[in-house]
Amino acid sequence: MLHLILFLVFGAFCVAGAVNLLVQRHPINSALSLIVVMASLAVEYLLLGAEFVAAVQVIIYAGAIMVLFVFVIMLLNAGEEESTKGSQVAMVLGIPGMAVGSGLIAWVLLTHSGTRAAQLGELPGTPKTIGWLLFHEFLLPFEITSVLVLIAIMGAVVLATRQETTAPHKEMGPEQLQRFDARSDFLSQATPGTAMAQSRKED
Amino acid sequence: MVPLSYYLVLSGILFACGVTGFLVKRNIITIFMAIELMLNGVNLSFVAFAAQWHSLSGQVFVFFVMVVAAAEAAVGLAIIIAVQRNRETLNVDRVNLLKL
C-alpha cells in the first residue's frame, strides 16, 4: 500500500514536471522542471529496487547533465522563446497529439498486459551485483563506452573552441602572407612524394 | 503492490511529453531537454522490465543509456554553442540554410 502511494505521489511529480517543461517559455524554467522529473524518477527506481540506478540517476542526470544544461543556458543568455507561425501550428497539432498518444499507450498497456505486481525490493540492484555484471558479462561494452566518452570529450572541446587557425589568410598582413606562401612552397618541395616526382620529371 | 503496467504507463506518458516537446518547442536547448525526457521515459521502462523478468541486465542497460546520454549532452551542447556563435540565434526556425 505504501508502495502504491509513493508510486502515485512521485509519478504525479514526474508528469507535472514533464508538462511544466512543455508549458514554460523560458529555458531555465524548463531545465528546473526537468530536474524535478529526474529526481522523482530516482524515487521510482528505488521503489523498483534499483538502488544503483537511482544513485546514478541523481548523480549523473540531475547532477552533471543538468548542471551542463543550466551552464549553457546562462552562457548563451537564452531568453524567452519567440512565438512564430510554425510554433503555433505545432502547438495546435502537438498538444492533442500528446494526449492521444499517451491515452493510446496507457489503454494498450492497461488492457493487454498482465496484472503481475512488481514486488518491493524483489530484485536488489545493489552496486555490488551491478558492478559484478559490468565487469564480467558486459566488460566489452563497458570498455567501448569509455572510448565513446573519450571521443565525446574531444568532440565537445573541438566544437566549442573558436577556430582561428583554419583561415590564416584573413588575419595575416601581406608580408606575413608572402612568408606563409614561401613556407608552403618549401614544405611542398620537402615532401618526399613531390621531390620524387620532380626528379622523375628531370630524368 | 504496484502493477507493472502502471510503471509502463508512466514511462509512456514521459515519452509522449518528450516527443511533444521535441515537436512543439522552438528553442534548441529546450528541444534538447525534451530528448533527455524521452531517454528518461525509456530508462523507466527498462528498470520496470528488469524487475518483471528478474534480470539485472536491464539495469546495466540503463547505465549504458545514461553514459551515452551524458556523451550526447556534452557534444550536443557544444554544437548549440557553435550554432549560437555562427547564427546568433537559438531559434530552430532561423537555422534553415539546408531548406530550399
Angle between helices B28-52 and B57-87 (to 10 degrees): 180
Please report the number of interchain residue pairs, chain A to chain B, with beta-carbon separation below 8 angstroms: 249
- Mean pLDDT value across chain B: 89
pLDDT band at A174 (very low <50, low <70, confident <90, very high): low
Question: Mean pLDDT throughout A73-83?
Answer: 82
A159 and B75 in contact by Cβ < 8 A? yes
Q: Does residue A10 lie in a domain region?
A: yes
Share of chain A above pLDDT 70, in %: 73
pLDDT in tens, B86-96: 888 888 888 88
Q: What's the CATH code of the domain at A60?
A: 1.20.120.1200
- Mean pLDDT value across chain A: 80
Between A124 and A21, the more confident residue is A21
Q: Does residue A199 lie in a domain region?
A: no
Residue with cell string 528546473: A32
Q: Does residue A137 lie in a domain region?
A: yes
pTM recorded for the entire structure: 0.80
Domain termination site, one of A25, A46, A80:
A80
Ranking A16-20, A149-153, B47-51 by mean pLDDT, the lowest is: B47-51
What torsion, rounded to 10 degrees, do the Cα atoms A180, A186, A190, A194 define? Answer: 100
Domain boundaries, chain B: 4-87
- The minimal CB distance from B17 to the residues A22, A57, A137 is found for A22
Taking the C-alpha atoms of residue B18 and residue B10, their distance in angstroms, rounded to an integer, is 12
pLDDT of residue A182: 55
Which residue type sits at A122?
A: E
Taking the C-alpha atoms of residue A185 and residue A165, their distance in angstroms, rounded to an integer, is 19
Between A168 and A101, the more confident residue is A101
Q: Does residue A72 lie in a domain region?
A: yes
Nearest-CA neighbor of B27 among A198, A192, A81?
A: A81
Q: Does residue A140 lie in a domain region?
A: yes
State ipTM: 0.92
pLDDT > 50? residue A195: no
A7 and A71 fall within a common domain: yes
B42 touches chain A (CB under 8 A): no
pLDDT of residue A125: 77
A73 and A133 fall within a common domain: no
| Residues pairing with B2 in the sheet | A118
Element (H, E) at B2: strand B2-3
- The count of domains in chain A is 2
B5 and A110 in contact by Cβ < 8 A? yes
A133 and A63 fall within a common domain: no
User: Helices (H) and strands (E) in chain B — how many of each?
Assistant: 3, 1
Which residue type sits at B36?
A: E
A138 and A71 fall within a common domain: no
A71 and A1 fall within a common domain: yes
A5 and A76 fall within a common domain: yes
pLDDT band at A167 (very low <50, low <70, confident <90, very high): low
pLDDT band at A177 (very low <50, low <70, confident <90, very high): low
Positive or negative: CA dihedral A171, A175, A181, A184? negative
Range of the domain at A153: 126-162
CATH, domain range B4-87:
1.10.287.3510
